Amino acid sequence: MKHEVKLPELGDDANDTATVSVWLVAEDTMVSKEDELLELTTDKAAFSVPSPHSGRVVDLLVEEGDEVKAGDVICVIES
């Protein structure tokens, strides 16, 4: 089953948008639930985004340097 991974809410102190700093996984990488997928930065803080599912990363939908907002689909994981 394929799962679209959406960027979660970044918290009250964060802007509506963040910049993808670095992907910590690549396509075809196996991940476990809660493994860190990528790091984001805002003008106030840095965040890492954990995987909500275990499985294989099949598609990275945003690139390093892209601006993203809560609710955007950032990757697809197949379980």
Three-state SS for 46-57 is EEEEECCCCEEE
Q: What is the CA radius of gyration of the chain?
A: 12
Two tokens, residue 64: 């390093």
Question: CATH code for 2-78?
Answer: 2.40.50.100
Tens digit of each residue's pLDDT, the chain (79 residues): 999 999 988 776 556 789 999 999 999 999 999 999 999 998 888 989 999 999 999 999 999 999 999 999 999 999 9
For the entire predicted model, the pTM comes to: 0.90
